[in-house]
Amino acid sequence: MRLISINKVNSAFAKATAGQSMKKFLVPIIIILIVLGIAQVLYSQKGISSKEAGKIVIDYVNKVLEGQATAILVGDVVKENGVYKLNLKIGEQDMISYISLDGELIFPSGIAITEDTTVNGDANSDIPKQDKTKADLFVMSFCPYGNQAEEIIIPVVNLLGDKVDIELHYVIYENYQGGGSDYCVAESKYCSMHGIQELNQDVRELCVQKYQKEKFWGFVKQINTSCNYQDVDACWENVAKSSGVDVNNVKTCFAEEKISLLENEVELGKKYDISGSPQLIINDKEFTGTRSAEGYKSAICAGFNTAPSECSTSLGNSPDTTAAGECE
């Protein structure tokens, strides 16, 4: 698909909106964006952040609209399939847009091609081998894409059991959103994207994983179902009790080990160059294949010198999802 210049895009918008009321011109705008497909923008940045991506798209769309309507960003900007994905609202119209990771191209719409749920052999060919595979899945406890990855990896944990070492780890930022108690602790040294309650839950889950590992995945799964980043500080105890987790043990660990656990997550994040949720590291190598139960299983099994017999079991699309997207 060839690139379309901004002048042509602006001209098309002008023709679509000329002489029309606010209510009438919004739908043609969305249609024109989809028909045009790709618009080249007036930026030439490299490796922009999700925050910068949101600003570029909003600025660009509002420039094209020329004051006839206002575009606003709804929710987080997330990385999905090699681009940033944004949910926009223009007047009363909802719209999904995309922008390249370098900020040079805006894709006003996305068209799904064939979804391949098989694992590309090349994606697993460079995974180092060892006697027992070590897999580290980095998430944020309330990132929806991280939660998807947790759901995907649980069948792998259940299949391979103690023949593999699979751990959950957490994406911790420093001075996020300028720091402060809404997101951070320890003078803004340790922060989480979705707020202080998410950070607290990261620690609690680390405590359960460390001291009550047999209860861990059930606890995480039920937290994802029953709690959210706004209520988990009040919600988690009932979930822990129903999951068979020793609440007092978690509270003791939280009080005594919170900072040391967070510091360990920061160090692991630096070691593996973790930038968002989810990211899967297998034997110190980042996984780049299909994000599905079968994809995760095949990649983890590729990390064994001699794979256990369970690796021949197909997980298909269990759970019935092939996930994409990232909180960053």
Q: Which two tokens stand for residue 253?
A: 């660990």
Residue 321: pLDDT over 70: no
- Higher-confidence residue of 16 and 102: namely 102
Q: What is the mean pLDDT of residues 156-160?
A: 97
- pLDDT in the model for residue 64: 67
- Higher-confidence residue of 119 and 294: namely 294
| Closest C-alpha to 303, from 154, 116, 149, 160 | 160
Tens digits of per-residue pLDDT, 113-150? 444 434 444 568 889 999 999 999 999 999 999 999 99
DSSP per-residue string spanning 93-138: EEEEEEEETTSSEEES---------SPPHHHHHT---BSS-EEEEE
CA–CA separation, 294 and 321 (whole Å): 10
List C-alpha distances in Å: 8 to 3, 22, 31, 71, 207.
11, 22, 15, 20, 57
Residue 1: pLDDT over 50: no
- Higher-confidence residue of 306 and 53: namely 306
Residues in the chain: 328
Residue 69: pLDDT over 80: no
Residue 19 pLDDT grade (very low, low, confident, very high; cuts 50, 70, 90): very low
Q: What is the mean pLDDT of residues 30-34?
A: 48
Residue 17: pLDDT over 60: no
- pLDDT in the model for residue 322: 59
Residue 313: pLDDT over 60: yes
- Higher-confidence residue of 303 and 116: namely 303
How many of the other CB atoms lie within 10 Å of CB of 58?
A: 17
List C-alpha distances in Å: 280 to 45, 60, 184.
28, 34, 25
Q: Are 293 and 316 in contact (CB under 8 A)?
A: yes
Amino acid at 98: Y
Q: What is the mean pLDDT of residues 90-104?
A: 78
Amino acid at 71: A
| Residue the block writes with tokens 């160090």 | 267
- pLDDT in the model for residue 256: 98
- Higher-confidence residue of 302 and 96: namely 302
DSSP E strands, 91-244: 93-100, 105-107, 134-139, 165-170, 184-185, 190-191
